[in-house]
Amino acid sequence: MTTARIREAGDSALIADLGDVIDASINWRAINLAAQVRAARLTGVRDVVPTFRSVAVFFDPLRTDEEALRVLLQTPPRDDAASPDGATVQIPVEYGGDAGPDLDAVAAAAGLAPAEVVSRHAAREYRVFMVGFLPGFAYLGEVDPSIAAPRHASPRLRVPAGSVGIAGQQTGVYPQASPGGWQILGRTTTRPFDSGRIPASLLRPGDRVRFVPASAGSLGSFDAAWAPAVPTAVEREGVRAVHVLQPGLMTTIQDGGRWGHQHDGVPVSGAMDAAALRDANHAVGNAADAAALEATLAGFEARLEHAGALAVAGADLGATLDGRPVPLAVRLVHGAGSIVRLGARREGTRAYLAFDGGLDVPLCLGSRATDLTCRMGGWEGRRLRAGDRVSVGPAGAVPTAPRVAGPSLRPHGGARVRVLPGPHSDWFPPAAFQALRRTRFEVTPDSNRMGYRLRGAQPLPREAREMISDATCAGALQVPPSGQPILLTADRQVTGGYPIIATVITADLPVVGQLAPGDWIEFDPCTRADALAALARQESGDGHGA
């Protein structure tokens, strides 16, 4: 048994590559290796994610013994753990008709009757190779070769939740409504993912799945079964609260992120600018990762229904408290009825408003962060609206040495950030790295908290072959076939099928979080030692990693 090849995904993740193909024995090794890493309980390890053929480990590079982690990842799993026992799950499916709009086309392409396609799809027991793309989306294999079908050339804009599809020799169930290109054979009322359930994901790598044909109408109403399970926001009377008067362009509740659930396909989310979140929280005496408001660009206004303290950090959006200017990262006392406003953009994009005691919304999988794509966390899984009344927790201690936000984290019009070579460097010729270094890219309007689509004068060259889906990381520069890179950010998908040419270092991710569409970005290669030194300076408050 060969040892894993270790690939670096920036300064905060390692990927143990176990092979170059999708193979059951390689996948068992990945599952067992992931379990081995979790069992070791190394300090600072945040997430362990098995994929088709690899294991990604996300960690705090300032706390984790990286050498010990590398040794662990190259230690073969025990022979007696070669075939772990997973659960067997049966999923009833209504095939064809409105539930399976592609069944007839798949049957025609295969030269079979639709009923025979159903029979062959349901005859197999599928294994869960990995979970990704969406929370609870399990990649299952392998489909009978006679009914294997390619993805649609143009993906649908909306595939209904519960749809059962095939792509090549893979099959799976969409856990929520989503764009998608898989061939849809049917639909189920079984929920692959429920954030209120323990465990949240129905399927885990190594489990077995059997699809059971159900007669039309026997599963009840799909619309009723898949009505959004969004928790009702809690408004507590007579307590400390922030009453939203104007939500601005986009304001959400964010904290340090939803770590520990990427193996279920759950994005980390959290603040786009973690340094600014920490600055604002530190100024009012909160824990560094306490929940705060992330306001984008301009237009936010709220009435504070209690006496307390606040701080604003990150972007300079002309914040005022009762009409007086608010200096960044400075604790200000406010009275009940005070009005806080954010005006026009001066520098940066995202401002963080922290209140002593932190925002007191329900935890979702251990975090209060809003994930807009998955509709979880924060305030009903959505951006704030006028009239929302968000509770604030009890006040804590006041810090004795407030931090001061560094201007380098508030780019005006663009920024140059540092990168490390990506985990898929073998996909790119040397000319690609040279082009990355000398090109100024524009952040396009088609960008959001999942990632920034970038546009350069010339596409980056890469190999034309299709990549097996692999783990992603924050700051990853994926390069699709177009050659125009995508910079992954806080709400990124856990796995992706595009090779990563480079990764923005952790210390510079806050700078990325302060960019807006129309801004420019350039990339400067650095060493791992430089990246760790910059992160240490940023964590200590000395120069914010400059």
For the stretch 439-460, pLDDT in tens is 999 999 999 999 999 999 999 9
Q: What is the pLDDT of residue 233?
A: 57
On whether the CB atoms of residues 521 and 415 are closer than 8 A, the answer is yes
Nearest to 73 by CA among 30, 24, 10: 30
Per-position DSSP letters for 290-347, written without gaps between them:
--EEEEESS-EEEEE-S-EEEEEEEEE---EETTEE--TT--EEE-TTEEEE--S-SE
CA–CA distance, 317 with 252 (Å, rounded to integer): 16
pLDDT at position 82: 46
Domains of the chain from N-terminus onward: 5-81 (3.30.1360.40), 88-225 (2.40.100.10), 241-406 (no CATH), 411-545 (2.40.100.10)
Backbone angles phi, psi at 263, to 5 degrees: -65, -15
Structure confidence at residue 407 (pLDDT): 42
Bridge partner residues of 523 (DSSP): 417
What pLDDT shows up at residue 234?
A: 57
Q: What is the residue-level pLDDT of the chain in tens, covering all 546 positions? A: 568 899 999 999 999 999 888 888 899 999 999 999 999 999 999 999 999 999 999 999 999 999 999 999 999 876 544 455 689 999 999 999 999 999 999 999 999 999 999 999 999 999 999 998 899 999 999 999 999 999 998 889 999 999 999 999 999 999 999 999 999 999 999 999 999 888 999 999 999 999 999 999 999 999 899 987 655 555 565 589 999 999 999 999 999 999 999 999 999 999 999 999 999 999 999 999 999 999 999 899 999 999 999 999 999 999 999 999 999 999 999 999 999 999 989 999 999 999 999 999 999 999 999 999 889 999 999 999 999 999 999 987 666 444 544 444 667 789 999 999 999 989 999 999 999 999 999 999 999 999 999 999 999 999 988 888 899 999 999 999 999 999 999 999 999 989 999 999 999 999 999 999 999 999 999 999 999 999 999 888 765 555
Q: Which tens digit of pLDDT belongs to each residue from 496-542? A: 989 999 999 999 999 999 999 999 999 999 999 999 999 999 888 76
User: At which residue do the structure tokens 């994009």 appear?
Assistant: 349
Identify whether the C-beta of residue 36 lies closer than 8 Å to the C-beta of residue 19. no
User: What phi and psi values does residue 103 have, to the nearest 5 degrees?
Assistant: -60, -50
In 3D space, the residue among 347, 336, 266 whose CA is nearest the CA of residue 313 turns out to be: 347
Q: Backbone phi, then psi, for 49, in 5-degree steps?
A: -125, 110
Whether the ω angle into residue 347 lies within 30 degrees of 0, i.e. cis, is: no
> What stretch of H or E contains 414?
strand 414-421
Give the full edge-to-edge strand order of the sheet including 5-8.
5-8, 13-17, 54-59, 45-50
Three-class DSSP category at 120: helix
Cut 0.85: pTM above it: yes
Which distant-in-sequence residues (6+ apart) come within 8 Å of 401 by Cβ?
Answer: none
Structure tokens belonging to residue 482: 């177009």
Q: What pLDDT was estimated at residue 238?
A: 56
